[in-house]
Structure 1
Amino acid sequence: MNRSIEYSQVLQLSDPLSSSSSSSASSSSSSTTFYTNPVLWTIDQVEEWLKANNFDDCVDILCHQSHIDGKRLVKLNQNEVLSLTNNKQLWLKIKSLKPKSEQSMVIQLEPPNTNCQRYTSSNEIEDQPFTHCCFVTSIRSDRKKTLLAFLLAFMTILFSSFIITIVDERIPDPKRFPPLPDLILDNIQPISWAFAVTEKLILIEMTTLIIVILAHRHRMIILRRLFTITASLYFLRSITMVLTSLPVATTDTDCEPKKLINFEARLKKATMIFLGQGLSSFGVKTCGDYLYSGHTCTLVLAAHFISEYTPRSCQLLHYLSWMSALVGMLGILAGHQHYSIDIIIAWVLSSRLFIYYHTMANNRTFLQTNTSRMWFWFPLFSYFEENVKTAIPNEYCLPNFVYESRAMINNWMESIRYSVYWVILFLFIVITYSFSFSKKMNFSSIIER
């Protein structure tokens, strides 16, 4: 068990003339916990400190709901304290603790536990205070941000689907505007089944990614990053599609510009595109969504996330995911579904955005040097990564609902087993009684004869 003691106490212990004073200091520190480094306080000690300073009304929100220990207490800023408690005196008191936590020098007397099987606590990765929300009384900060990121991605993809319906109406007539010159497409013949292979690979990649995220211990942060990057890519794709309309990339097509009658018809078509996620395997047909390729973005992002959030020892999985992405991009070109420039731009944008985002997320210097500049240039990143304190370790465990479902199924099976036992017992009694009654009737008939 790790033990930590303050530097001043170590000096007292090392001085033979102060042995008596050190013993008295240790006894006083055992009776009250407020003379130690505030960073070392537990949640119970924080609660004692709040009550000792007449902040009893703040105990519930800070200790019972937000689970704030000493380390998190001294890191609270003024806005966080006021938003949680609306108590300025509490902020002044917490502010007075900060110099103590910074000046206290702690010496580790025993080596830390290096058990690799121990999971990293979520609080070690991200601060998770409870915040007020519009539709529930309180919600954990990390879950609130993940929900907002999901809504952002949802609305962006829906908006992109609506833009595709507008682009399809503005597509250049293939009879008047032939495909643009393309170095790759001009030298290969269209392969009808190639694009179908690409979409099958997309489904395999996305299924693998979903399994990886669900099995990952820090799945909330990963989902938040996936939704944020996806929203950025699809919003930019909507802008590039609507600004420039390119001719259809193949001569073998039945696409033609066709105006829809009203807004309701456009919204219906956009909904069908959204539900089918732009995949022709699900019955979705689009013609003018060039510059740049959404299929390529999906393949590259899935390969990046699989490689990032699985152990380095899973080299075969990484190799297969990147091979699937590469084969999928070649399938798009072989099917003449996109120009070469669409594939290149989608590859560069999705890969660079993923790398830049994770480089900043894994280096806290970006958020600490110039906060105002980061909030101006990278508002989504600054908001969603504000409380993430370190790089995410690749640790895996099943979600809580799996264990809850397993326990519920076990309870059901136990109930069913006992019910079966009672049914068998009841049938046994009925059959026994019927048999004995029939024997009795036969015996009575024999006597009468």
Structure 2
Amino acid sequence: MGMWSIQHSLLRIHHSVQKVANMCDVHTWKCQRVGKWLKRAGFPQYVQSFTQEHRIDGMALLSLTEMDLRSPPLELKVLGDIKRLMLAIRKLQRENQYHLAITQRLENGTRLRHREFMQGNGSDFAESDGFTHSDDSSSENRVYIPTFKPEIWKTVISFLYVFLVFLVTAFVMVIVHDRVPDREKFPPLPDLFLDSVPRIPWAFVMCEITGLVLCAIWCIVLLLHKHRFILMRRMFALTGTVFMLRCLTMLMTSLSVPGDHLECSGKLYGDFWTRLHRAFVIWSGLGMTLTGVHTCGDYMFSGHTVVLTLLNHFITEYTPRNMYTLHISSWVMNLFGIFFILAAHEHYSIDVFIAFYISSRLFLYYHTLANNRVLKHGDKDRTRAWFPLFSFFESEVDGIVPNEYEWPFPIPSIFMENEENDM
């Protein structure tokens, strides 16, 4: 009985994922699937005409216009049905702009220009090495179609990169601890927020709980996203780069602690092996107070803010645009997490502001380059010199990664048959 319940739950999850995935995979629908969609949309009277008489599949459905519905051979007679059906089709078109763009370009048989790019989940196209040819083999009818190779080996390298950066960060935090200014000589610096808001002892724990919730959401997105390896690679690359920058800023300048509640005494880890052991403790606990890690001296800039901000941006970027509740919740958790950091008096306000600004700007700058082939390939030598990691990780990624989803685990055929019957 218990095994059946687990399989039934997995089937329901798979069915839910398929519903989300189908929003972005209309181009793969067969005529039978179009008929089922017409019935659910409230137009069963047109199923035979669409699917049997005119063999309209997913691609054909996405390319329909109101004129197609009005004129022969479809020639719908009821004005209200025409308007309502067109609204439903336009909704599908908005959710499938990426594949619709390719279909339209292939039908037109024209070369895509550098500056053409779709909104939402569309893509930016430009001339490149690979082309798909239409029936006419002339150069003017070549159309570039972007590809998204998983390149798992690059994802492994990006993981090793962020793994190494976290080790270096933990060791730098130990070094910085030994350089913490004496509070007797260097009291906390004046801060507009910290001087105005009393300290809330439990706020920092709430910040970390908020971060764990965002992390759980992001893991679910990664699990279900069709291009999960590209997403992981970008997450590791951006996180490692921001934390490497954080290491440099911590080494350059040591600030006095922001509150008297932080019991910091310098020169506790003078021996190299003692430092190494302490760095391992910080690294293994991910620098979180929830895991028993307590540090001081790493106040340039806030690592917790970096993690919260990057998780928020990745969640909102790689989930469907119509998931407004999820996106608003993600931003609220990001901002509340930042507030909790300040309310706990664990960082100066400038630390949090700089961390948020650097993380968000680097995320947007990285994705602007990645999504726009003109910017990425316009000056390859300069891009390789200034952004070697970007050039390496994104060399085989063309345009905006479409938000397509799939259930990653195999489902027994008997359950798949039941699902098809339910549809």
Q: The TM-score by the shorter chain falls in which range? A: 0.5 to 0.7
Contact 1:249 1:336 in 2 (8 A): yes
Whether 2:303 is the aligned partner of 1:294: answer: yes
Q: 1:172 to 1:395 in 2, by over 3 A?
A: same
Aligned to 1:280: 289
Contact 1:278 1:285 in 2 (8 A): yes
Contact 1:246 1:288 in 2 (8 A): yes
Contact 1:125 1:391 in 2 (8 A): no
For 1:261 and 1:200, how far apart are their aligned partners in 2?
33
For 2:354 and 2:376, how far apart are their aligned partners in 1?
29
**Residue 397 of structure 2, aligned match among 372, 381, 388:** 388
Aligned to 1:16: none
Q: Which runs of 5+ in 1 are unaligned?
A: 3-39, 41-73, 77-97, 109-122, 129-141, 411-449
Whether 2:255 is the aligned partner of 1:246: answer: yes
Q: 1:107 to 1:245 in 2, by over 3 A?
A: closer
**Residue 170 of structure 1, aligned match among 149, 154, 179:** 179
For 1:373 and 1:268, how far apart are their aligned partners in 2?
41
For 1:49-71, what per-residue CA distance to the aligned partner results, in whole angstroms no more than 9, with x for missing partners? xxxxxxxxxxxxxxxxxxxxxxx
For 1:102 and 1:362, how far apart are their aligned partners in 2?
28
Aligned to 2:339: 330
Report the Cα offset of residue 390 of structure 1.
Answer: 1.9
For 2:335 and 2:175, how far apart are their aligned partners in 1?
30
Q: TM-score, normalised by structure 1?
A: 0.60
For 1:187 and 1:234, how far apart are their aligned partners in 2?
30
Structure index of larger Rg: 1
Aligned to 1:93: none
1:40-55 matches, within 5 Å, as none
For 1:392 and 1:166, how far apart are their aligned partners in 2?
40
Contact 2:371 2:399 in 1 (8 A): yes
1:76-225 matches, within 5 Å, as 103-104=138-139, 106=141, 124-127=146-149, 142-225=151-234
Report the Cα offset of residue 171 of structure 1.
Answer: 0.6
Write the letter of the residue equivalent to 1:297.
V
Q: 1:392 to 1:378 in 2, by over 3 A?
A: same
1:302-341 matches, within 5 Å, as 302-341=311-350
Q: 1:126 to 1:170 in 2, by over 3 A?
A: same
For 2:142 and 2:246, how far apart are their aligned partners in 1?
54
**Residue 75 of structure 1, aligned match among 116, 122, 129:** 129
Report the identity percentage: 43
For 2:385 and 2:265, how far apart are their aligned partners in 1?
43
Report the Cα offset of residue 231 of structure 1.
Answer: 0.8
Report the Cα offset of residue 127 of structure 1.
Answer: 4.6
Whether 2:365 is the aligned partner of 1:356: answer: yes
Aligned to 2:381: 372
For 2:255 and 2:212, how far apart are their aligned partners in 1?
27
Report the Cα offset of residue 252 of structure 1.
Answer: 2.1
Contact 2:148 2:227 in 1 (8 A): no
Q: 1:192 to 1:360 in 2, by over 3 A?
A: same
For 1:407 and 1:177, how far apart are their aligned partners in 2?
66
Q: 1:209 to 1:127 in 2, by over 3 A?
A: closer
Report the Cα offset of residue 281 of structure 1.
Answer: 0.7
Report the Cα offset of residue 214 of structure 1.
Answer: 1.2
Aligned to 2:355: 346
For 1:245-282, what per-residue CA distance to the aligned partner results, in whole angstroms no more than 9, with x for missing partners? 11110012321113324222111111111111111010
For 1:100-147, what per-residue CA distance to the aligned partner results, in whole angstroms no more than 9, with x for missing partners? x98445499xxxxxxxxxxxxxx953257xxxxxxxxxxxxx111111
Structure with more relative contact order (C-alpha pairs < 8 Å, separation 6 or more): 2
For 2:299 and 2:262, how far apart are their aligned partners in 1?
15
Q: Which runs of 5+ in 2 are unaligned?
A: 1-56, 60-105, 107-127, 416-423
Question: Please, what is the CA RMSD of the aligned residues?
Answer: 2.9
Contact 1:167 1:289 in 2 (8 A): yes
Q: 1:144 to 1:338 in 2, by over 3 A?
A: same
Contact 1:127 1:389 in 2 (8 A): no
